[in-house]
Structure 1
Amino acid sequence: MEKDTRSDYDVIIVGAGISGINGAYRVQTQLPEGTSYAILEARDAIGGTWDLFKYPGIRSDSDLHTFGFPWRPWNEQRAIADGKSIVNYIRESAAMYGIDQKIKFRHKLLTADWRSENQRWHLTVEHNGEKKTFTSRFLFMGTGYYDYQEPLDATIPGLQNFKGTIVHPQFWPEDLDYTGKKIVVVGSGATAITLLPSLADKASHVVMLQRSPSYLLSLPSATPLDKLFNWLLPPSIATKLLRWRWLFAGWLFFNFCRAFPRAARSVLRLQTKRQLPKSVPHDPHFVPPYNPWEQRMCVCPDGDFYKALASGKTSIATGHIKTVTADGIQLTDPAAQKLNPRITSGVDMIVTATGLKILLAGGTRISVDGRPVDPGTKFLWKGLMLQDVPNAAFVIGYTNASWTLGADATAQLFTRIVNFMASEGVASCVPTLPDSEANSMEKRPTLNLNSTYVKKAMDVLPMTGDRGPWVARSSYYRDFWNAKFGDITDGLAFRSAAEA
C-alpha cells in the first residue's frame, strides 16, 4: 500500500485508543465518500490505555458488551475482559475496516491553532524528535482523559523513607519480580481491587490499605441468561441482545442507586456480607462515607476479590497513613495499627494505586487565531465541543457507564454536524455563549463524581451548565437520540467559506 505522505486532511483524529478507532469508523462510514482523515498516535501501538497499562490483572471494570464497539460486537461469553484481550479486540477491529492504515504512529500533537483566515486547524506534531505541520478542517480529540506521562501525585507522608520498591500501576515494569514479596497496595479504587487478587498469585502476602472504602459489586463473567442467549440464538442476534441487556441493566442499577440510596446501600451490604470470609469484618472495610454511585462503582468478576481474601494470602486495612518508614507504614489510629500488624514492618513493596492525573486533549496547547484557550474557563456544548473553539470535538465518556457509549455518542453527533455543515455550505461552526448568559449560568462539573482525582481536576476540565445545550450528558439513551435527531444549531454559530 502506498504510504500516505499528505499533511492536509478533512479530519484529523488524535489518539488510536478505543475512542479514536471508534471515531475513525464513524468518519469513514458516515461522512461522504472521499473524506480524508488520519489518526495521530503519540505512541507506537494501537490500544491507548489498554496497551499502556501493564500491571498484573489489568481489566475493564465495564462489561465488554457495552464497552466494545457497536459496529463490531464483543462475541465472547465473558463480560469482563483482561487488558490483553481488549487490546487484541481493538487491533483486530481496526484492521478489519482498514482503520489501522490511517494511523501515523509516534506523532505527538503539541499545539493546535485554529486560523480564521483559511478556516483550518494548523497542528504542530512531534515525530521522532522532529516537528511537522498538519492542517485539517476538523479536529477530533480521542485522547482519553488522563495524563499518559505523569501520574497523580500520591500524597503519602514519608513515602521517601521507604527502602523497598515503590511502583505506580500506570508505569508498572513488565520485568518486575514480586515473587515471595510482602506488598501493600495503597488505594481502594478499581485498580487496587484488581491488583489484590492478581498479586496474590506470586506474592507472600498482599494488603490493600485504604483511607476510605469503595462500593464493590461482584458480577459473574457470564450470567445464565447470557449463556441462554448464546445457546439459543444466532451470534448476530445474541450479541445485540446481550449488548442491550447489559446496557439496560447498568442504566437501571445506576438510577436505582441515585434514586434510592438507602436501599442501594442495603443491597450492596447484603451482597458483600454473603461473600466475605468470616475472618474479615464488613465494618469498617466496606462502609463508604458516601452513597452508591457518587463515586464510580468498583467491579470484581466472579467475586475474585473476596476469594483472594478467603485464601489467607491477602488482607484489607482501613486507616489514614501517619508516615511511611524504611520497611513499613504507621497509621494515625493506634487501634487500627494494632489490627493490621502486617503493614508495620517487613514490607518489601508499596503500590501507589491512588488514581490518575486528569488531562484534557492529551496536554495539547490549543489556541484560536493565536490566542491560547484555557479549557477550565469554558463551557462544554452538548458534551463534545468547547465554547469558542471551532470545528473541534473532544471525547469525554460516561462516569456511570461504559466509556465507549459516550465516545460513540460523541462520534455520531460529530459526523452529523459535519454533514449538516456540508449541506448548508458552511465551513466552520463554533459554540457561542454570550457573556450575559455565561455569567448567569450555574457552573457544574463535567464529571459528576466526587472522587479525589476528579476534584483535583476541576480547574483543568471544562464546565457544564444548568440549561440548554450546555447541560452535562448523563444518559446514553438521551444522548443517542440527541445525536441522531436533536437540535444541532442551538448555541452554534456558523460561518461560510466566503466569509473567511
Structure 2
Amino acid sequence: MMSTAHPASSDPGIRPDLDVLIVGAGISGISMAAHLGMKCPGMRYAIMERREQLGGTWDLFRYPGIRSDSDMYTLGFGFEPWTDRDAIADGDRILAYLDRVVDQYNIRPNIRLATRVVSADFRADEGQWRVVLEGPDGSRETTARFVYFASGYYDYDAPHDPAFAGRDTFTGTIVHPQFWPQDLDYAGKRVVIIGSGATAVTMIPAMAQSAAHVTMLQRTPTWMAAQPRRDRVARLLQALFPARIAYRLNRRKNIRFQEYVFKTARRTPSRIASFLTRATRKALGTHYTEKDWLPPYGPWEQRLCLIPDGDLFAAIRKGQADVVTDRIERFDRTGIVLESGRHLDADIIVTATGLRLAMGGQVKVTLDGIKVNWRKHFYYRACMFSNVPNLAVAFGYLNAAWTLRADLTASYICDVLNTMQAKKAALVRPILPDDHDLTEDNVYEFSSGYIQRALPLMPKSATALPWRLNQDYREDLRDYRTRPIDDGVLHFESVVAKAREIA
C-alpha cells in the first residue's frame, strides 16, 4: 500500500494510496474509522498510530487510579453502547471497550502501530497529500486524498512541567503523571502531588490506600463535584430496555443534565457555586476551609473535577490525605519549601502541573511546500479550516465529553467525502475571502492554564456558525442535521490549475 514517490501531474484524478489517512488510534481515530466503515464502505483508509498500542490517552496515561472524567454514556461512542456497570470507568475498562469496538467494526486490519506521521504536504496539482511516515522499517512516503487528524489536543512528548527552583537538590523521586514509571513503589512513602486538576484528584485516593500520606499542593482550589460511580437510573434503564435503547436514553439524559449545569453556571454562577460549596462542606465536615476549597473563580470557568463516590473526600476524612494551599518557593533535599515558610516533607513529588496543547499531533503540515500557520485560519464546522483543502481535525468539547464532537465530526466528514465522490471532486475546502467580515471570538472562555498558554497557537473562531468552534453540543447537532454539505461555503473542485496562496 505504501509507495516511495508519485510523479507530478495536473490530473486531479490521480489515484492515491489511500482515500483517507487518519492520524491517531485513540477515541477520535476509532470513531472516524467506524464511521467510514458504516457510511463510506468502499473507501480505503489507514490509521497511523505512533504508539505500540491503540487507545491514545487511555494507553498513554498509566498513573494510579486513571479513570474517565466524564460519564461513559457520553464519553462512549454514539454508535456502540457502553454496557459496563460503572458510569465512571477505570482506564483498563475503557481500553477494553475500545478494543471491542475495533474488532466489532473490523478496524484492526487498518491500524499501523508504531508508525509516526512526520509531515504532510498537499500538492494542489495532484489533488492529494504526500505524507512522510516513520516506523519500524524506517522512513517512507505514502499518499492520501484526505487527511484526518485524530491525534488529540496535547503534546505527548512534553507536558507542562515548570522548572521549580532547587529541583535538582531533591533526593527523592520526581515524576510527571504523563510519564509514570510502572515500577514506582510508593507504599509507605510520603507523597506530595503538585496540582489540583483532574489528574491530581484521581491519583490521591488511589495512592492514599498504600502511601504513608498524600498531600495535594495547590495554588488555588478547584471546583469539585461528587458523583456516584454507578448511575442507578442508567442501571434501571439497562434492566428495562434493550442495550441500544437504554444507552440512547442514558446518553440523552446525561447530555441534557450536563448542558443545564454548564449553562446555569454561566448565567448564574452563584447558584451552582452555592450548591457545590454546600455539598463539599457536607462531604468534608471539619476538614473544610474556604482557603482550601472555595475557588476564586466561578464554576465552569475551568473544567469541573469529578469525584466518583466522593473518594477524594473520604481519603481526607480518614487522614490519609490533606490539601495545602500555598505557593512553592523552592525544592530542597527533603521536600518543598513554601512561600509561607512551611515545609512539606516528601519521598516522592508528583508534578501534576498540566498539559501542553499541540495542533495536529505536531505533524509538519504544508500546502505546496508552504507551512500552515493555524493561527491565520478560521475553524469551519468545528473541524475544517478556512481555505485549507482535504483536511479535518477532531477537537472535542471543553465543557462536555470529547467523544460527542468526535462522533459528529466523523459523521460529517464522511458526508463530505461521499459528496466529493458524487461530484468527482479532487479537492474540497471552505472558502473565506480576504475581505471577509467575520468577527473573531474567544471560544476558549476557560481560565485553565493549559488553555491560556495555547491561545497564540490555536486557529480562529468567529461569533457564529459555521466559522465557530462551538461549545454547545445540541446546537451543533441541529446545525449538522439542517445545514447542507454543499452550503456555498464548502467548494468542491475537480481541477486545480495552480497552487493558491492558502497557507
RMSD: 1.7
Structure 1 range deviating more: 346-355 or 422-431: 422-431
2:313 maps to what in 1? 306
Paired with 1:353 and 1:445, the residues of 2 have a C-alpha distance of: 27
2:190 maps to what in 1? 182
Deviation at 1:433, TM superposition (A): 2.0
2:155 maps to what in 1? 147
1:121 maps to what in 2? 129
Paired with 1:35 and 1:246, the residues of 2 have a C-alpha distance of: 34
Residue 19 of structure 1 aligns to which amino acid in structure 2?
S
SS in 2 for 1:74: coil
Deviation at 1:264, TM superposition (A): 0.9
Equivalent position to 1:293, from 293, 300, 307:
300
1:496 maps to what in 2? 494
Structure 1 range deviating more: 228-237 or 362-371: 228-237
Structure 1 range deviating more: 249-258 or 10-19: 249-258
Deviation at 1:71, TM superposition (A): 1.3
SS in 1 for 2:116: strand
1:328 maps to what in 2? 335
User: If the length of structure 2 is used for normalisation, what is the TM-score?
Assistant: 0.93
Deviation at 1:441, TM superposition (A): 3.6
Residue 368 of structure 2 aligns to which amino acid in structure 1?
D
Paired with 1:228 and 1:214, the residues of 2 have a C-alpha distance of: 32
1:464 maps to what in 2? 461
Deviation at 1:225, TM superposition (A): 1.8
1:249 aligns with 2:260: no
Residue 320 of structure 1 aligns to which amino acid in structure 2?
R
Paired with 2:294 and 2:351, the residues of 1 have a C-alpha distance of: 22
Structure 1 unaligned blocks of 5 or more: 338-343
Structure 1 range deviating more: 83-92 or 485-494: 485-494
SS in 2 for 1:123: strand
Structure 1 range deviating more: 399-408 or 324-333: 324-333
1:281 maps to what in 2? 288
SS in 2 for 1:114: strand
Aligned residues: 485
Does the 8 A contact of 1:53 with 1:170 survive in 2?
yes
1:15 maps to what in 2? 24
Deviation at 1:168, TM superposition (A): 0.2
2:393 maps to what in 1? 394
When residues 176 and 218 of structure 1 are mapped into structure 2, their CA distance, relative to the original with a 3 A threshold, is same
Q: Kindly report structure 1 stretches of 4+ aligned residues shifted beyond 6 Å.
A: none
Deviation at 1:174, TM superposition (A): 0.6
Per-residue CA distance 1:424-443 (angstroms, 9 max, x = gap):
33221122222222xx5433
Structure 2 unaligned blocks of 5 or more: 4-15, 499-503
When residues 223 and 97 of structure 1 are mapped into structure 2, their CA distance, relative to the original with a 3 A threshold, is closer
SS in 2 for 1:357: coil
Does the 8 A contact of 1:211 with 1:320 survive in 2?
yes
Does the 8 A contact of 2:161 with 2:351 survive in 1?
no
Does the 8 A contact of 2:31 with 2:406 survive in 1?
yes
SS in 2 for 1:300: strand
Does the 8 A contact of 1:157 with 1:323 survive in 2?
yes
Does the 8 A contact of 2:189 with 2:212 survive in 1?
yes
1:25 aligns with 2:34: yes
Does the 8 A contact of 2:2 with 2:142 survive in 1?
no
Residue 250 of structure 1 aligns to which amino acid in structure 2?
Q
1:443 maps to what in 2? 440
Does the 8 A contact of 2:154 with 2:356 survive in 1?
yes
Does the 8 A contact of 2:26 with 2:151 survive in 1?
yes
1:341 maps to what in 2? none
Deviation at 1:490, TM superposition (A): 4.3
Does the 8 A contact of 2:124 with 2:496 survive in 1?
no
Does the 8 A contact of 1:115 with 1:121 survive in 2?
yes
Does the 8 A contact of 1:412 with 1:483 survive in 2?
no
User: If the length of structure 1 is used for normalisation, what is the TM-score?
Assistant: 0.93
Paired with 2:2 and 2:352, the residues of 1 have a C-alpha distance of: 42
When residues 463 and 431 of structure 1 are mapped into structure 2, their CA distance, relative to the original with a 3 A threshold, is same
1:61 maps to what in 2? 69
Structure 1 range deviating more: 113-122 or 488-497: 488-497
Deviation at 1:301, TM superposition (A): 0.5
Paired with 2:344 and 2:360, the residues of 1 have a C-alpha distance of: 42
Does the 8 A contact of 1:412 with 1:484 survive in 2?
no
1:238 aligns with 2:236: no
1:224 maps to what in 2? 232
Paired with 1:192 and 1:466, the residues of 2 have a C-alpha distance of: 34
Paired with 1:490 and 1:291, the residues of 2 have a C-alpha distance of: 40
Residue 413 of structure 2 aligns to which amino acid in structure 1?
F
1:413 aligns with 2:412: yes
Does the 8 A contact of 1:397 with 1:407 survive in 2?
yes
| Percent of aligned pairs sharing the same letter | 38
1:486 aligns with 2:483: yes
Structure 1 range deviating more: 249-258 or 196-205: 249-258
1:87 maps to what in 2? 95
